[in-house]
Structure 1
Amino acid sequence: MERQLISHLAHTDHPIAAPISEASLDRLLRRAKLAPGARVLDLGCGEAFWSVRLLELYGEATADGVDLSDAGFADARRHAERAGVADRLSLHHGSATEFAPAQPYDLVLCVGATHAFGGLTATLKAVRGLLRPGGLAVVGEGFWERPPGERLETEIGEYPDLPGTVAQAEAAGLRTVYAHVSELAEWDDYEWSWTGSLIDWATRNPGADGEAAMAAALEHREMWLEGYRGLLGFVTLLLRVV
């Protein structure tokens, strides 16, 4: 089973697709204070939950969502239609690293997708090139709450701590104007949803795909419960171009 399909299934019951509650998401997006007619770009949009919520909050904004997999696009369109914003959302199937818009954006989102660019610094460099002068970026990235040990760092990733993450972002020529640090309860809700949705799908779909989904869910759950729970943090930064 493709990695993109596994991710899509795992986020069925948590379409925010990050360890963030809906209340925290709204608070973060409202702090952007977008002007009427703002143009938004969502890199690695998945089901475009973030874009749809932004369009609900900012009635005259428009958004482009880009993702290498279109597995979540049907759900994105249904969600946008239910929210009454489908006419202001455009979805593009392709690589976020190769997306070349004709005009810059007022806000660029890249949450949990910095791996597509090769890390936080490269992501922010790319995002800056897509923003108008003085534009905003919302970037979600992991960080280590405390040193994880060699095994976890090898298997999960080499992240700095929270101060190091903020410094890395600001070294790219942006300034942090707000941020949300995910709480343990948000992490737990996200991880139980991720693994539980996948396990539920696997039990209802016996066969090779079901077995692959179950194996992915159990491997992920073990890594979370016995590895990075309480160690790996997640921060969503609201950044303005200097």
Structure 2
Amino acid sequence: MDRQLISAIAHRDHPIAAPITDANLDRLLRRAELPDGARILDLGCGEAAWSLRALELVPSAVADGVDLSPHALSAAERSAAARGLTDRLSLQLTPAADFPAADPYDLVLCVGSTHAFGGLKETMDAVSRFVRPGGLALVGEGFWERTPDPALAEAIGTFPDLAGTIAAAESGGWLTVYGHVSDLAEWDEYELSWTGTLARWAAANPGPDGEQAMAAMRQHRDMWLTGYRGVLGFVSLLLQRV
């Protein structure tokens, strides 16, 4: 099984694909105050939960979603059809970093996908190519709530604290106008959904694929429970281009 398929299965019951509740996702999108006819770009869109909800909130808006996973994009297509949004969402199977800049967007989303550009600062530099002057970016990124064990930092990656994360996001001509820091309950809901959905699928599919999925679930759960729970934070920043 490829990692993209494992991720797609694990996120079936939590398509937001981040430690954020539906209510807080709505709150972030409403604070964007998108105009009629808004153009939205979702980089690393996954199942496009963010852009689909934005389209529901602004009935005249249109969105482009970009992702590397055919499994996630197939799920996005099904969700768009079920919500009557197929004609307003265009999906492209391509690396986010390769998506060409064309007409500017009112809002660019990049939640949990800054690795596609090499980090947060590089992501904001890339997003600047897509957002109109005065437009918005909604970016979700990890940060260290407290100093991690060196082995954990090596396993997960390098993150600053919250102050450093906001500074990096603003370093290229952006201004933070709103944000949300995920709490522990949101993290637990996300992780228990991720691991639980994958465990249920693995149990229902005995054989090599099920064994591989179960092993991936156990490795992920151990890393969460004994490693980054309460240590790794997640912030969603609404930034305006200035």
2:152 is matched by which residue type in structure 1?
A: L
Residue 12 of structure 2: aligned partner = 12
Partner SS, residue 81 of structure 2: helix
Residue 181 of structure 1: aligned partner = 181
Residue 33 of structure 1: aligned partner = 33
Unaligned regions of 5+ residues in structure 1, if any?
none
User: Which stretch of the first structure deviates more once superposed, 144-153 or 76-85?
Assistant: 76-85
Q: Distance in 2 between matches of 1:4 and 1:115?
A: 15
Q: Distance in 2 between matches of 1:197 and 1:172?
A: 39
Residue 212 of structure 2: aligned partner = 212
Q: Distance in 2 between matches of 1:4 and 1:51?
A: 20
Superposed CA deviations along residues 123-146 of structure 1, whole A, max 9, x for unmatched, are: 111011111111100000000001
Q: Distance in 2 between matches of 1:101 and 1:124?
A: 14
Task: Confirm or deny that 1:196 pairs with 2:201.
Answer: no
Q: Distance in 2 between matches of 1:8 and 1:129?
A: 29
Q: Distance in 2 between matches of 1:12 and 1:104?
A: 31
Q: Distance in 1 between matches of 2:203 and 2:81?
A: 31
TM-score with structure 2 setting the length: 0.98
Q: Is the 8 A contact 1:66 1:93 kept in 2?
A: yes
- Taking the TM superposition and a 5 Å limit, the aligned residue runs for 1:121-140 are 121-140=121-140
Partner SS, residue 222 of structure 1: helix
Identity %: 64
Residue 96 of structure 2: aligned partner = 96
1:176 is matched by which residue type in structure 2?
A: T
Q: Is the 8 A contact 1:46 1:70 kept in 2?
A: no
Residue 58 of structure 1: aligned partner = 58
Unaligned regions of 5+ residues in structure 2, if any?
none
List, as ranges, runs of 4+ consecutive aligned residues in structure 1 with deviation greater than 4 Å.
none
Residue 105 of structure 2: aligned partner = 105
Partner SS, residue 74 of structure 1: helix
Residue 78 of structure 2: aligned partner = 78
* Count of residue pairs brought into register by the alignment: 242
Q: Is the 8 A contact 2:110 2:138 kept in 1?
A: yes
Task: Confirm or deny that 1:223 pairs with 2:223.
Answer: yes
1:214 is matched by which residue type in structure 2?
A: M
2:146 is matched by which residue type in structure 1?
A: R
Superposed CA deviations along residues 132-181 of structure 1, whole A, max 9, x for unmatched, are: 11110000000000100211110011101101100111112100000010
Q: Distance in 2 between matches of 1:62 and 1:177?
A: 23
TM-score with structure 1 setting the length: 0.98
2:97 is matched by which residue type in structure 1?
A: T
Q: Distance in 1 between matches of 2:87 and 2:50?
A: 16
Residue 235 of structure 2: aligned partner = 235
Partner SS, residue 13 of structure 1: coil
Q: Distance in 1 between matches of 2:214 and 2:172?
A: 40
